[in-house]
């Protein structure tokens, strides 16, 4: 299957190349940050009380805080998906709304009106796997 823009296929609709995104559990955000920055040489591009967004060699790694006893602070782990361009994300939401897709996590915005503004939604594939789609208003990675 050829997924390159301009060659047909699923990426034909995107105006910019999306990047993969993976969400992982993190028991301690400070330790997680040190590991990815100091051990692997990655860059943290966003930090919040509930998680870190890490540039993992061009892939967005979303490290979400999870208690050691397994109780999740954030829902929908594990998940994978795409980080898209801002306009592409909005077009995807419009399309999914039009065809009647049910969301696991409805489209929402974090840090609205700031340089850290982020949009996100999650859907499930037929087997129940969570796919997350996000966009930064200002490109982070």
Complete DSSP assignment for 35-71? IIIIIT--EEEEEETTEEEEEETTEEEEEEEB-TTS-
CA distance 129 to 141: 25
In a domain, 48, yes or no: yes
User: 2-6, 106-110, 126-130, 136-140: which has the highest mean pLDDT?
Assistant: 106-110
In a domain, 10, yes or no: no
In a domain, 126, yes or no: yes
In a domain, 89, yes or no: yes
CB 9 within 8 A of CB 1: yes
State how many domains the chain has.
1
pLDDT tens, position by position, 6-61: 555 555 778 888 999 999 889 899 999 999 999 999 999 999 999 999 999 999 99
Q: For residue 40, what are the domain limits?
A: 17-136
- Between the CA atoms of 26, 105, 20 and 58, what dihedral angle is there, to the nearest 10 degrees? -50
What CATH number should be reported for the domain holding residue 45? 3.10.180.10
**pLDDT band at residue 2, thresholds of 50, 70 and 90?**
very low
pLDDT tens, position by position, 84-126: 999 999 999 999 999 999 999 999 999 999 988 999 999 998 8
CA distance 120 to 130: 13
């Amino acid at each position: 299957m050829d997924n390159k823009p301009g060659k047909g296929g699923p990426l034909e609709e995107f105006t910019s190349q999306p990047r993969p995104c993976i969400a992982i559990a993190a028991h301690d955000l400070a330790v997680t940050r040190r590991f990815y920055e100091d051990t692997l040489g990655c860059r943290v591009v966003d930090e919040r009380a509930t998680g870190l967004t890490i540039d993992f060699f061009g892939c967005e790694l979303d490290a979400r805080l999870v208690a050691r006893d397994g109780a999740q602070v954030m829902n929908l782990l594990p998940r994978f998906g795409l980080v898209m361009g801002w306009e592409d994300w909005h077009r995807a939401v419009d399309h999914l709304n039009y065809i009647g897709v049910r969301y696991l996590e409805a489209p929402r915005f974090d840090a609205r009106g700031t340089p850290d503004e982020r949009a996100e939604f999650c859907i499930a594939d037929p087997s129940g796997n969570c796919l997350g789609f996000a966009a930064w208003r200002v490109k982070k990675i």
